[in-house]
Amino acid sequence: FEFLLPKHDFVEPWIQADPSCAAAFAAGYIDAEGSFYLTTTPTGLRKSAFAVATQDRQILVWMHRWFQSVGISCPPPKLALRQGVPRPFSLNKDHWILQVNRKDAQVRLIEVMRPWIRHSKRKADMERVLSNIKERNNHPSLKYARRAHRSWALTATF
C-alpha cells in the first residue's frame, strides 16, 4: 500500500491518456470520496444528487473535464470550506466539491461508473438514486417542465 502514502493533487498523464484507466481512476476516487444521495427540498420533494468533496482541487478539475468528455454535464468544482476559518475541526487546505445535480447527468454518471464501482454502499446508493429519478420522471407535474434536459427525462429508460 505504499502507493497510498504520497499525496499528489494531480492525475498521472498515463491515466489521463487511457480511457479505461481514466474511468477506473474516477471510479476509485468516487468509491473513496464520492457520495450518491437523496436530499429533501423545502417543499418535501426527495431529490437525488451526487457529490465528491476533497482537498485535492486539481483532481476535481480533471474529473470535471473528464465528466464533460464522457457526456456528464455539471458545473466546475467550487470551494466548499476555506482553510483556516474557525470551526470544530481544522483544515490545512481548502476543501472543494464537485456536484452532479441534473437527473440526466446523474443517469449518465451511473451508466459510465457502474462497471467500475466496487464499494457495495456506493452501488446501493446508485440504485437508490436511479429509483428516485425514475419515480420523479413519472411525476404528473413533470409535463410542465420547460428546460430541454427535462424533456429527456420523459423518455429515459433504465
Listing DSSP states for 23-35 in one string gives HHHHHHHHHHHEE
Residues 6+ apart with CB under 8 A from 143: 154
Per-residue model confidence as pLDDT tens digits over 81-120: 888 777 777 778 888 999 999 999 999 999 999 999 999 9
Residue 155 has pLDDT above 80, yes or no: no
- What is the predicted pLDDT for the residue at 120? 96
Report the distance separating Cα 96 and Cα 152, nearest Å.
Answer: 30
- What is the predicted pLDDT for the residue at 146? 47
Query: Is the Cβ–Cβ distance between 36 and 131 less than 8 Å?
Result: no
Question: What is the average per-residue pLDDT within 129-151?
Answer: 71
